[in-house]
């Protein structure tokens, strides 16, 4: 499959071609790529794309996968509705 | 490869440092190094709401914001880097829930209109036409300015940096400034984790760390960090055009062009420290504040929350200019939560100052000396 047909981040529809272009342009850490492309910022919060992205960075920069710093994990772990949060808040008032 | 001298060393690769680097280079000062401890936009800039509004109560803020918005309007074309700053220019709707606020907004609107800012005082029904999912219970009036909006802070910062680099500016990321050398009340060098840079001009654009960077040069800046929290939801179909802001509830809420909602509120009891972790009760309190006003948002799922620092000054207004008694030490700090929107004009003004020109706007009222003289600025419309 061509790079432009391989999806790295499903939530944001980001292809391998786009990811490789960014790495080649100098965005060589997960945090930087995330910020310019939204990779890993969708509803799944990087559960699928994270590993794929690490592999792409490793293959272009020559670093090993262990050397690549993971993205900062941010709460909540799973999407939660604002309405549910409001009920939570009201329940302990 | 790294040359160890520079005409100007900029400390901080946020929107202020990167915009200033670009405007310096554009003015012909290209021997500039931006030193950033982490990656570009890793500080407050990449954590902010990036709302841009001209609806202020101080003439100075109106003028600075108006000129910045004009610059943002054409920034993609001007910088021409291939990145889109995603300026959604669909206005800011500011809600008023008590008589005092209505009176204040009337004054603000008169001032803003006198400066040719296209703002209007509107009724709750008119507000509902602009934001159909707005619950108008208790709402007395609102103001709306259609040329306000919000931007993608990451791509805006990267665009400025890329354009500056194209003009010759060097950007050193993952490089920390560890000291500033001063001789006879003049800056002479900056020490970094990647070596010393000899320079006679240092620009402190270090955001939440402005006080610490000032101290490196023996300067005492009256600024301090304050945590502010923010969250983002999953993307949904287009629902809300303008940024909605209620100073009564203290919140702001926008839908990005991408579809996700970004919202936050100012908590007077927030930590005044260098902490950027978030708290659980923030999400619940956010829901309590925003849902009565924008009820259908109850269905949206929060996917991420984070926090960043406001760099507060004693009067919640920025401190701009060269340090008296320390030649070559320039500050643009203490933006107190509205520095993103002022970045283009700040960059232009600081570039003018550092290249020896007279700034095109009188920024003396924003000098650090105002605190000693007791000439504090009072902005009534901060979140
Ligand atoms: C939650 C939140 C919401 C906000 N919403 C808005 C808004 O809607 N509109 C608006 O206009 N503003 C908003 N702001 C404020 C805005 O983020 C800031 O005013 C603006 O980003 C400041 O930019 P800066 O470049 O000065 O600082 P920063 O972006 O913090 O950049 C400073 C940089 O300096 C670096 N640094 C610090 N110390 C050193 C050192 N010793 N060596 C090397 N590098 C160093 C840091 O790593 C950082 O990247 C918000 C802020 C927060 C936290």
- Collapse the DSSP code of B300 into the 3-class scheme (helix H, G, I; strand E, B; otherwise coil) and give the result: coil
For the entire predicted model, the pTM comes to 0.96
Q: Tell me, yes or no, if A3 comes closer than 8 A to chain B by beta carbon.
A: no
Q: Residue B208, exposed/middle/buried by CB under 10 A (0-12, 13-18, 19+)? A: buried
Token readout for B278 is: 């978030």
DSSP assignment letter at B347? H
Cα-flanking dihedrals φ and ψ of residue B284, to 5°? -65, -45
Strand duo B243-246 + B92-96: pairing? parallel
Rounded to the nearest 10 degrees, the angle between the axes of helix B153-166 and helix A30-37 is: 110
CB contact under 8 A, B283 and A79: no
Q: List ligand 1's pocket residues with C-beta within 6 A.
A: B 11-17, 35-38, 42-45, 47-51, 176-177, 205-209, 213, 228, 230, 264, 308-310, 335, 337-341
Question: Which chain B positions have a beta carbon within 8 Å of A83's beta carbon?
Answer: 287, 291, 298-299
CB contact under 8 A, B302 and A82: yes
Q: Tell me, yes or no, if A24 comes closer than 8 A to chain B by beta carbon.
A: no
CA B65, chain centre distance (Å): 10
Position A93 pLDDT exceeds 80: no
pLDDT of residue B1: 45
Give the residue, by CA position, lying nearest to ligand 1 atom 22. B339
Neighbours of B248 (CB within 10 A): 15
pLDDT of residue B383: 66
Give the Cα separation of B212 and B235 in Å (integer). Answer: 38
Distance (Å) of CA B90 to CA B109, B151, B360: 18, 11, 29
Per-residue pLDDT of chain B (383 residues; tens, 9 = 90+): 458 999 999 999 999 999 999 999 999 999 999 999 999 999 999 999 999 999 999 999 999 999 999 999 999 999 999 999 999 999 999 999 999 999 999 999 999 999 999 999 999 999 999 999 999 999 999 999 999 999 999 999 999 999 999 999 999 999 999 999 999 999 999 999 999 999 999 999 999 999 999 999 999 999 999 999 999 999 999 999 999 999 999 999 999 999 999 999 988 888 898 888 888 899 999 999 999 999 999 999 999 999 999 999 999 999 999 999 999 999 999 999 999 999 999 999 999 999 999 999 999 999 999 999 998 988 877 76
Give the Cα separation of B344 and B19 in Å (integer). Answer: 6
DSSP assignment letter at B36? -
Give the best residue of A75, A76, A78 to mutate against chain B (max B CB count within 10 A).
A75
Is-contact B278 B227, C-beta < 8 A?
Answer: no
Is-contact B12 B227, C-beta < 8 A?
Answer: no
Say which of A75, A79, A82 has its CB closest to residue B287: A82
Give the Cα separation of B383 and B249 in Å (integer). Answer: 9
Token readout for B284 is: 């619940």
pLDDT of residue B378: 84
Query: Which of B160, B155, B154 shows the shortest CA–CA distance to B19?
Result: B160
Q: Report pLDDT digits (tens) over A37-86.
A: 999 988 888 888 999 999 999 999 999 999 998 888 888 888 899 999 99
- Which residue's entry shows tokens 């930087």? A32
Is-contact B283 A85, C-beta < 8 A?
Answer: yes
DSSP assignment letter at A50? H
CB contact under 8 A, B154 and A45: no
Return the H-helix or E-strand segment holding B308.
strand B301-312
What distance in angstroms lies between residue B14's CA and the mean position of ligand 1's atoms? 6
Is-contact B297 B261, C-beta < 8 A?
Answer: yes
pLDDT of residue A74: 87
Q: Tell me, yes or no, if A32 comes closer than 8 A to chain B by beta carbon.
A: yes
Helix, strand, coil percent values for chain A (each to nearest 5): 50, 10, 45
pLDDT of residue B2: 59
DSSP assignment letter at A64? -
Among B339, B344, B382, which residue has the most ligand 1 atoms within 8 Å of its CB, making it the best to mutate? B339
Give the Cα separation of B15 and A35 in Å (integer). Answer: 14
pLDDT of residue B382: 72
DSSP assignment letter at B5? B
User: Chain B residues within 8 A (CB-CB) of chain A?
Assistant: 39-42, 46, 83, 154-155, 158, 232-235, 258, 278, 280, 283-288, 290-291, 297-306
Strand order, beta sheet including B186-192: B177-183, B186-192, B195-198
Burial letters B126-143, b for 16+ CB under 10 A, else e = ebbebbeebeeeebebbb
Question: Which chain A positions have a beta carbon within 8 Å of B158's beta carbon?
Answer: 36
pLDDT of residue B245: 97
Which residues between 46 and 75 in chain A have a beta carbon less than 8 angstroms from any beta carbon of chain B? 74-75
């Amino acid at each position: 499959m061509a790079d432009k047909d391989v999806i790295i981040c499903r939530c944001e529809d980001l292809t391998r071609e786009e990811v490789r272009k960014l790495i080649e342009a100098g965005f060589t850490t997960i945090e930087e790529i995330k910020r310019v492309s939204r990779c890993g910022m969708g509803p799944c919060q990087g559960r699928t794309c994270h590993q794929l992205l690490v592999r792409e960075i490793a293959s272009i920069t020559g670093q090993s996968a262990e050397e690549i710093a993971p993205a900062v994990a941010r709460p909540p772990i799973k999407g939660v509705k604002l309405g549910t949060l409001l009920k939570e808040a009201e329940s302990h008032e | 490869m790294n040359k160890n001298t520079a005409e100007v060393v900029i400390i901080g690769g946020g929107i202020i440092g990167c915009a200033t680097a670009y405007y310096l280079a554009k003015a012909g000062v290209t021997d500039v190094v931006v030193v950033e401890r982490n990656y570009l936009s890793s500080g407050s800039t990449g954590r902010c709401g990036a709302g841009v509004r001209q609806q202020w109560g101080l003439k100075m803020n109106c003028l600075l914001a108006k000129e910045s918005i004009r610059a943002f309007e054409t920034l993609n074309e001007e910088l021409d880097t291939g990145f889109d700053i995603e300026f959604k220019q669909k206005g800011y709707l500011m809600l008023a829930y008590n008589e005092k606020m209505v009176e204040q907004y009337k004054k603000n609107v008169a001032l803003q209109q006198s400066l040719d800012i296209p703002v209007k005082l509107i009724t709750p029904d008119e507000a509902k036409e602009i934001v159909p999912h707005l619950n108008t219970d208790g709402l007395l009036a609102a103001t709306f300015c259609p040329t306000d909006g919000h931007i993608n802070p990451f791509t805006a910062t990267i665009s400025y940096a890329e354009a500056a680099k194209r003009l010759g500016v060097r950007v050193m990321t993952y490089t920390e400034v560890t000291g500033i050398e001063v001789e006879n009340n003049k800056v002479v060098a900056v020490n970094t984790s990647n070596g010393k840079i000899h320079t006679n001009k240092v620009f402190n654009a270090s955001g939440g760390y402005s006080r610490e960077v000032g101290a490196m040069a023996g300067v005492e800046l009256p600024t301090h960090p304050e945590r502010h929290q923010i969250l983002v939801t999953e993307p949904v179909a287009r629902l809300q055009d303008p940024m909605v802001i209620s100073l009564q509830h203290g919140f702001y809420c926008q839908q990005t062009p991408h579809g996700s909602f970004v919202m936050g509120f100012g908590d007077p009891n927030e930590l005044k420290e260098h902490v950027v972790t978030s708290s659980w009760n923030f999400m619940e309190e956010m829901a309590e504040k925003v849902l009565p006003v924008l009820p259908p948002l109850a269905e949206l799922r929060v996917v991420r929350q984070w926090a960043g620092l406001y760099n507060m000054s004693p009067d919640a207004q920025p401190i701009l200019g060269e340090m008296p008694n320390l030649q070559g030490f320039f500050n643009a700090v203490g933006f107190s939560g509205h520095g993103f929107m002022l970045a283009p004009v700040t960059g232009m003004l600081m570039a003018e100052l550092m290249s020896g020109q007279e700034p095109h706007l009188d920024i003396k009222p924003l000098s650090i000396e105002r605190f000693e003289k007791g000439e504090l600025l009072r902005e009534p419309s901060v979140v």
